Amino acid sequence: MIAELKENLIKLSDEINNLILDCLDLKTLDEIRVNSLGKKGSVTAHLKNLRDYDEDSKKEIGSLINEIKFNINNLIEQKSLSFKKTLLNEKINSEKIDVTLTSKDRDLGTLHPLSRTVEELCAIFADMGFSIVEGPDIETDYYNFTALNIPKEHPARQEHDTFYLQPDKDGNRKVLRTHTSPVQIRTMEKLNLKEFDEIRYIIPGRTYRSDHDATHSPMFHQCEGLVLGKDINMGHLKGCLIEFCRSYFNEENLPVRFRPSYFPFTEPSAEVDIGCRKEKDGSLSIGEGEDWLEILGSGMIHPRVLEGIGIDPNVYQGFAFGMGLERLTMLKYGIPDLRPFYDSDLRWLKHYGFIPVDTPSLHSGLNGVFS
């Protein structure tokens, strides 16, 4: 009886092994495992019947059954690994990437030409020893007008020129700053005159006026400059601004002239013009021809402005200047219309934008690389 049982077990083992070898997929293989080694499997059933045999027979039959189970498990594992390897190879072949193919073009972001202009100005003036300061966009009437010697009847104080905020509980109305000049006052107020011989600051930032057309925007950018010290004179102002104009437009012999003008916060005051040629089609050739183009305003700081913040104008003098950054950008890069500056049109940015890593400096060059 024992011999017959052993023969049946060996026969069962061979049948299961053949089923495993002939198996074609993982699902069928798992069914074979369950049907043979599961709780109700054919091999497991023989283990449950061992209780019907004596001790010696149990050991002999039990050892054979365990050997059969071990062999079946090994064969199933080998077959399973073979299936998985085949599936992996098929997946690799189907998803194969040809590394010799050129990559797809990616649209890279570009630096706005206005941001580029700010970087250029900072590089030029930093080389002349200027530092950069900033101030709030929302200003009081005092800092925006009164401290700058702008009289109460001046048109700039009218609502058709200036954006006023709602009055506070005391009836005072703040404004969106109409220029970056208030930062000059805030900066000079904080000075300890005993600790410095001369200060040089530029103040780039947003400004706001109630105006909108092809060359004006209600929100625009300015850059103010401030130099204060002892024995500062008009010659220093002219030398500074001539150097700036020639560096910015990359014209070593660019003609620059100073034309008398009026600003409430400077005396004497001057408009700065550069030489150009105005073509018949409306374009400009900077540095050529006999025409002139105004690009910024300047002047010596008015004594009343210095006195108003406690600085003796008989001891300290200084000069200031201011320029519209959109205008400078349009002139240098041939941009005909101001309005697209703030339209977020990616086509416009792709055309006029710059490579972001192309940082300007006087040594590497200020003429950036268009995208």
> CA angle at residue 185 from 179 to 188, to 5 degrees?
140
| pLDDT the model gives residue 271 | 95
pLDDT at 370: 46
Residue 192: per-residue pLDDT: 78
- What's the full length of the chain, in residues? 371
Integer Cα distance of 83 and 299 in angstroms: 86
pLDDT tens across the length of the chain (371 residues): 677 777 777 787 788 888 888 888 888 888 888 888 777 777 777 767 766 666 777 677 777 778 888 888 888 888 888 888 888 888 888 877 777 777 777 777 788 899 989 999 999 999 999 999 999 999 998 999 989 988 888 777 777 788 888 888 888 889 999 999 999 999 988 887 777 788 999 999 999 988 766 666 788 899 999 999 998 999 999 999 999 999 999 899 999 999 999 999 999 999 999 998 888 877 788 888 888 999 999 999 999 999 998 899 999 999 999 999 999 999 888 888 888 888 888 888 888 888 776 666 555 555 554 44
| Structure confidence at residue 360 (pLDDT) | 64
Q: Where are the alpha helices (H) located in the chain, listed in sequence order? A: 2-22, 26-37, 42-48, 55-94, 113-127, 141-144, 182-189, 234-248, 303-308, 325-333, 346-352
Q: How far apart are CA 268 and CA 279, in angstroms?
A: 33
Look at residue 247 in the predicted model and tell me its pLDDT.
92
- pLDDT at position 363 is 52
